[in-house]
Amino acid sequence: MGNARVLAFYITVCVVAFVISKIVIAVLLYRRWRRKQMVVRDSFCGGELVMFRSPTMKSLNPDTFLKKLMKLSNKDIIGSGGYGTVYGMTIDDTTALALKRINRGSAERDKGFERELEAMGDIKHRNIVTLHGYYTAPHYNLLIYELIPNGSLAAVLHGKPMDKKVLNWPSRYKIAVGMARGISYLHHDCIPHIIHRDIKSSNILLDKDMEARVSDFGLATLMEPNKTHVSTLIAGTFGYLAPEYFDTGKATAKGDVYSFGVVLLELLTGKKPTDEAFIEEGTKLVTWVKSVVEDKREEIAVDSSLEDCPANEVNHVFNIALMCLEPDPSKRPTMAQVLNMLEQIKSES
Ligand SMILES: Nc1ncnc2c1ncn2[C@@H]1O[C@H](COP(=O)(O)OP(=O)(O)OP(=O)(O)O)[C@@H](O)[C@H]1O
């Protein structure tokens, strides 16, 4: 009898200790979550503002932000794309934000939407555009990004000839390495690994030092109902899609490597992958460059505004681009290998 009592006592102590430890862990996790983000209800429009904790957002007063948000108009538009309109918002001399407005879809999607955004908010890398938070209103969602001042690579490369002058060879090489670093981080260092699924020159933004910042990562996944990190839904942009994508519809890291190869060709040739001149001739940028490189006549493919660029470095980058553009995905290098090869070019020269 005495032994049974002792046993019952020990079991009770163990159960109580177990329950208390679970409560302590839950409280700690909740406090950590609260520290990571701040949620503000907007009584005026019935929306909810979620700000991820960061030095930028620390200095941002939510009321100031919400007041400025209500005043946004067409003159604040800085771009628009397949997902919605992008507005610029200056908070003060040191803080400027880019707000991507996305029309709201099904309630089911919106639940996962918030979870996915919180995961995206954790990703901080100098070659990736930071997501500072989001705002959900009854009829739309707004993603709050840092504002990247020099616009997209597509706009600079294919815009006014004057703007393109800033893209000399050292600057194009720096952009290529920065892009590779950002995508390699998503593929290899994030847990779970992230496939971008829409690498293209309009998703590469240029910061004040003309350093590449990969944007829109996770958006293709976010906009897809019943998402997983590897998708089976056709997304992405024609001209950049890997050939196997049309057969399998499956997004893979090697698909991102192919799209990266197309952007490298854009940087080298200054031509758009969907250039009308190619379509008229029944070819495309990738096929044309492959034939030129096979004939060892890279110089005719190089952008005419890249005068006096070191031929050996340019040829190296052409070769790396062609490795990324291998029709068989298993023959393409990983992004980590691509980054390594690109970095070696400068160390060799
Ligand atoms: N964080 C940002 N900072 C500065 N400008 C931005 C930012 N995000 C987007 N933009 C601008 O808005 C434009 C549209 O961006 P968005 O990502 O919506 O569309 P896209 O990339 O051009 O096309 P798609 O939606 O098909 O990917 C960009 O080309 C860029 O000029």
Q: In this structure, what DSSP letter does residue 139 have?
A: S
Residue 85 alpha carbon, nearest atom of ligand 1: 18
Residue 230 near residue 214 (C-beta atoms within 8 A): no
Amino acid at 304: S
Judge whether 271 is annotated as a binding position.
no
Domain membership of residue 111 as a residue range: 36-146
Question: Cα 294–297–301 angle (5° rounding)?
Answer: 105
Nearest residue to 254 via CA among 213, 175, 195: 195
- Asked if the model's pLDDT at residue 122 lies above 70, the reply is yes
Q: Indicate if ligand 1 lies below 6 Å from the C-beta of 130.
A: no
Residues 208 and 283 in one domain: yes
Give percent above pLDDT 90 in the chain: 41
Q: What is the pTM of this model?
A: 0.84
- Asked if the model's pLDDT at residue 262 lies above 60, the reply is yes
Residue 151 alpha carbon, nearest atom of ligand 1: 31
Mean pLDDT of the chain: 85
Query: Where does the pLDDT of residue 222 fall: very low under 50, low under 70, confident under 90, or very high at 90 and above?
Result: low
| pLDDT tens-digit readout, 37-83 | 677 766 666 788 888 877 777 778 888 888 888 899 999 999 888 77
* Residue bearing the bigger pLDDT, 282 or 333: 333
Strands 85-90 and 204-206: unpaired
| pLDDT tens-digit readout, 247-258 | 888 889 999 999
User: What confidence score (pLDDT) does residue 31 get?
Assistant: 64
- The CATH number of the domain holding residue 77 is 3.30.200.20
Any idea which residues carry the catalytic annotation?
A: 198
Residues 122 and 166 in one domain: no
In this structure, the residue with its CA closest to atom 11 of ligand 1 is: 79
Q: Is residue 264 part of a domain?
A: yes
Residues 142 and 159 in one domain: no
Residue of 77, 103, 200, 203 best suited for mutating to test ligand 1, as the one with most atoms within 8 Å of CB: 203
Q: Is 5 helix (H, G, I), strand (E, B) or coil?
A: helix
User: What confidence score (pLDDT) does residue 104 get?
Assistant: 66
Residue 44 near residue 53 (C-beta atoms within 8 A): no
Looking at residues 315-320, what average pLDDT do you find? Answer: 94
* Residue bearing the bigger pLDDT, 240 or 40: 240
User: What confidence score (pLDDT) does residue 108 get?
Assistant: 47
Q: Specify the long-range contacts of residues 90-98, CB closer than 8 Å, at least 24 apart.
A: 91/60, 91/64, 91/65, 94/59, 95/56, 95/59, 95/60, 96/146, 96/147, 96/149, 97/132, 97/144, 97/145, 97/146, 97/147, 98/144, 98/145, 98/146, 98/147, 98/148
Residues 165 and 311 in one domain: yes
In this structure, the residue with its CA closest to atom 12 of ligand 1 is: 79
In this structure, the residue with its CA closest to atom 1 of ligand 1 is: 147
| pLDDT tens-digit readout, 80-110 | 887 789 999 998 888 899 999 987 654 445 6
Residue 100 alpha carbon, nearest atom of ligand 1: 18
Query: Is the N-terminal amide bond of 327 cis, ω within 30° of 0?
Result: no
- The CATH number of the domain holding residue 318 is 1.10.510.10
Burial (0-12, 13-18, 19+ Cβ within 10 Å), 23: exposed
Q: ipTM of the predicted structure?
A: 0.95
Query: Where does the pLDDT of residue 292 fall: very low under 50, low under 70, confident under 90, or very high at 90 and above?
Result: confident
Number of domains making up the chain:
2
- Asked if the model's pLDDT at residue 173 lies above 90, the reply is yes
* Residue bearing the bigger pLDDT, 27 or 223: 27
Q: Indicate if ligand 1 lies below 6 Å from the C-beta of 183.
A: no
User: Where is average pLDDT lowest: 209-223, 295-309, 330-344?
Assistant: 209-223
Nearest residue to 94 via CA among 55, 143, 124, 36: 55
Residues 250 and 324 in one domain: yes
Residues 271 and 202 in one domain: yes
In degrees to the nearest 10, what's the CA dihedral of 240, 244, 250, 256?
Answer: -40
CA distances from 273 to 51, 81, 252, 302 (A): 38, 18, 21, 14
Q: Is residue 336 part of a domain?
A: yes
Residues 254 and 316 in one domain: yes
- Asked if the model's pLDDT at residue 195 lies above 70, the reply is yes
User: What confidence score (pLDDT) does residue 107 get?
Assistant: 46
User: What confidence score (pLDDT) does residue 238 get?
Assistant: 77
